[in-house]
Amino acid sequence: MRLLVAAATDIGQVRERNEDAYLIDEPLFAVADGMGGHRGGEVASSLALETLESLFQRGGGDLAEQVQVANEAVFERSIRDVSVAGMGTTLTAALVQGDRVRLAHVGDSRAYLLRDGGLRQLTEDHTLVHRMVLDGEITEQEAETHPYRSILTRSLGTDTEVEIDRDEVPVLPGDRLLLCTDGLTGMLDRGQLESLVASIDDPGELAERLVRAANRAGGIDNITVVVVDVRADEGTDAEGPEPAGVGTETAIVRTPSAADAEGPAPHRGETPPSTITGVVPTIPDEGRRGDVDRSEARATPPGPSAWGHRWKRVAVWLVAVVALFAVAFVGFRAYLDRQWYVGVVDGHVTVFRGIPASVAGYELHEVVVETTIDARRAESLALYHDLADGITADDRAAAEAIVEQIRRDVALQAPETGGSP
């Protein structure tokens, strides 16, 4: 079997950045949809895919293990670099091996399989609304338009470890795999998606048409698609005729708006920006090495005539450092004001503004609403095990929606035994 591959990504109609990324390293394909303030989303999605690609090329471990390492890479960066703290990403990867495709998946990007004109979703969304569907609280149709449909229950890079869905499905010649981010599936309903994927033969044209359809429907999010067509080998002769309309085996479609935008999502050739804030005092190199006497590395005290100049320079440096700190602080404060999460205070489920961390004793969050919901009971539910670490939300409304969901889930629990009336 041979593969025909095409991909397209687009910033959409509303977003200022494209935080999606994709990976094509045949036979490995993936999409990722990053999230997090500042440049966090872009860093998370591209770092995850770069890590996955380099592990794949080195050939260590299976696909899910490689995705787990990608999780660690994103998480460690978010701990090290305060400007991307709390970032995360979805990741849906497909590895075509012989007549099977292995899948590894976290988040709400999706993999689909088209066979005989029928489109089947291979992945399960890790979202709050999908859980509500499973619990019978809302229908699948209601989930498609639910205001909280983008709240993830699982994401890559937000914790030391992540639970990865893995699957393996057989593929046949004539099958078509589609990997996409929610910027596509949030804009097209299932019927629209199926009819496009089933009716357009050329993968490059399909990728482009899917992006265009999502943009016409509003394009409220970044849109990324990877199309992989599985074709039968054309005899043993490798010089077989190219199918009509496909010049190369891999067609990368760059839609005009994506090409014009500052940050195209394809992770290839794009290195995440290195963002270091704050000032770290440095020790001369000699001073760091074990037995070397540190005083040797320092300058001898200046003579009295040099003091005036020295003080002026020190004053200028002090002003510069203070100004730098002030700018960094104001910027960081503004960033924190836009972050929301749900956590625990005094045993109660609580809405916070900021991020669940502290630096040198300075808390990077504030309590906005402390509810009366018992956090211990919420944490006893599998979905909220990590409540104490914080469940991130896009905004205040989303955070409050999570609280309401926790309230409902806790209420559905059997009442605690031994409690006082």
**Using CA atoms in the order 400, 406, 409, 415, what is the torsion angle rounded to 10 degrees?**
-120
What is the rounded CA–CA span in Å between residue 350 and residue 372? 9
Q: Which is nearer to Mg ion, 127 or 350 (CB)?
A: 127
Q: Which is nearer to Mg ion, 9 or 181 (CB)?
A: 181
Interacting span for Mg ion (CB under 5 A) from 23-31, 139-147, 219-227, 275-283? 219-227
**3-state SS assignment for residue 149:** coil
Shortest distance, CB of residue 223 to Mg ion, whole angstroms? Answer: 8
What is the rounded CA–CA span in Å between residue 338 and residue 85? 13
Interacting span for Mg ion (CB under 5 A) from 93-101, 201-209, 214-222, 349-357? 214-222
Q: Which is nearer to Mg ion, 11 or 94 (CB)?
A: 11
Q: Does residue 42 belong to the site contacting Mg ion (CB under 5 A)?
A: no
Shortest distance, CB of residue 7 to Mg ion, whole angstroms? Answer: 16
What is the rounded CA–CA span in Å between residue 178 and residue 211? 13
Closest CA to 154 of 384, 319, 350, 317: 384
Q: Does residue 182 belong to the site contacting Mg ion (CB under 5 A)?
A: yes
338-357 mask for Mg ion (x: CB under 5 A)? Answer: --------------------
Asked if residue 230 lies in contact with residue 177, where contact means CB atoms within 8 angstroms, the answer is yes
Binding to Mg ion in span 152-181, by CB under 5 A: 181
- The residues that bridge with 127 in the sheet, in sequence order, are 152
Sign of CA dihedral 45, 51, 54, 55: negative
Given 10, 208, 221, 409, the residue binding Mg ion (CB under 5 A): 221
Dihedrals phi, psi of 48, to nearest 5 degrees: -60, -45
Shortest distance, CB of residue 270 to Mg ion, whole angstroms? Answer: 18
Q: Does residue 53 belong to the site contacting Mg ion (CB under 5 A)?
A: no
Interacting span for Mg ion (CB under 5 A) from 213-221, 252-260, 321-329, 390-398? 213-221
**3-state SS assignment for residue 289:** coil
Given 33, 81, 125, 229, the residue binding Mg ion (CB under 5 A): 33
Shortest distance, CB of residue 203 to Mg ion, whole angstroms? Answer: 22
**3-state SS assignment for residue 309:** helix
**3-state SS assignment for residue 29:** strand
Shortest distance, CB of residue 400 to Mg ion, whole angstroms? Answer: 21
Interacting span for Mg ion (CB under 5 A) from 206-214, 215-223, 271-279, 281-289? 215-223
Shortest distance, CB of residue 377 to Mg ion, whole angstroms? Answer: 32
Shortest distance, CB of residue 131 to Mg ion, whole angstroms? Answer: 18
Asked if residue 104 lies in contact with residue 165, where contact means CB atoms within 8 angstroms, the answer is yes
- What are 164's two structure tokens? 């990865």
135 Cβ partners below 8 Å, 6+ apart?
none
Interface positions with Mg ion (CB under 5 A): 33, 181-183, 221
